[in-house]
Chains A and B, each alone.
Chain A
């Protein structure tokens, strides 16, 4: 569904952000895009949405070159940006003005998402808090029913109960014909929702695996004591004990710890990458 090949991009000459970046994302999944600050997560999402253009290589969504911004492509993609400005109009007017761009927009679903998020329907967008505005945009994004839905830090600014509501609406919205990409720093908010992990670092994609494959190859554990005889690949020690990633030699089915995996891959990725080759 999303196909990026040998993408090159830089904001300034001689300071490349992406060099030879390739990535293929399929329908039916919720991808978690992880990376350090400044690694290029938002830039990559903008490339996919056709808001930035490649310097070299290709970025295609459902067969359309995103940089050409053809209407047939734009009606099948929605990006929830991290920062946004909304006009001084009511929610209803916003829907009237924007929904016609999306042929499968489901107005009933939109208002039921708003209800789920406890947002009053007859408000001016500019009179709302940041978190409330975000919920309106997320509701709108889900209601567009586009094939590709991209969210940049969607849980930023959401209060504690709305994170749970967010997970519920996302679980309800993902279907076999949709591809969802979420960039996030708060993996703990979303770790049961994301089924594939994409890590961007060092100008390219350094890790891309589905959660099932990760837990087949690696086991995540909390140990009281480190033991040299165990096949430990990475350990993070705290008062709770040692959170470790080990080779999964006994076919154990542990729960993935995305934060630990992310730290492990950024600090010493070679031994982990080798296991997946």
Chain B
């Protein structure tokens, strides 16, 4: 896995796990690889993967069965969509807003661009 420079590694690993779920590679109620297996595969410190698992557990995307490991939560797909939305609002929007503020662009001004984008990409 290639890591980007822009975001903390533990969040990028969380994205990776969520992607496996959204792509149906890891199914709800299935056990995911252990912290150590993930650390070795991704070549990162196991403490970093631990931090990822704590976050995903908090978000109820995975759950910990003591002594066995982490399992994908039954509602994981729904939760991931919500989690991604939250992360978009807290991580990506501020930099967009900062640019908008610095360039003096109003929110309404963006609407035609957004409509055009939707038309050309999703129709």
Taking beta carbons and an 8 Å cutoff, which residues of A are in contact with B? 28-30, 164, 167-168, 171-172, 174, 192-195, 212, 215, 222, 227, 250, 252-257
Contact = CB atoms under 8 A, between A and B. Distances in A.
Contacts of B12: 255
B47 A171 contact: no
B44 interface: yes
B4 interface: yes
15 contacts: A167-B43, A167-B44, A171-B40, A171-B43, A172-B39, A174-B45, A192-B42, A192-B48, A193-B44, A222-B5, A253-B8, A253-B11, A253-B91, A255-B7, A255-B8
B113 interface: no
Given A192-B44, A252-B91, 18 more contacts: A28-B47, A167-B44, A171-B36, A171-B42, A171-B43, A172-B39, A174-B46, A192-B9, A195-B45, A195-B47, A195-B48, A215-B8, A253-B7, A253-B10, A253-B91, A254-B6, A254-B8, A257-B5
A195 B49 CA distance: 11
B4 A171 contact: no
Nearest to A212: B51
Interface of B: 3-12, 36, 39-48, 51, 91, 94, 102
Nearest to A250: B94
Which of B9, B10, B41, B45 has the most C-beta atoms of chain A within 10 angstroms of its own C-beta? B45
Nearest to B35: A171
A249 B102 CA distance: 18
Chain B contact residues, majority secondary structure: helix
Contacts of A227: 102
Nearest to A221: B6
Contact of B45 (A171, A222, A255): A171
Nearest to A251: B90
A194 B5 contact: no
B91 A192 contact: no
B3 A192 contact: yes
B3 A255 contact: yes
A30 to B, nearest CB: 6
A170 to B, nearest CB: 8
A227 B103 CA distance: 13
A250 B6 CA distance: 15
Contacts of A256: 8
B6 A164 contact: no
B69 to A, nearest CB: 16
Contacts of B39: 171-172
B44 A171 contact: yes
B36 A172 contact: yes
Given A30-B45, A192-B48, A255 B40 contact: no
Contacts of B3: 192, 255
Nearest to B55: A253
A255 B44 contact: no
A105 to B, nearest CB: 21
B47 A255 contact: no
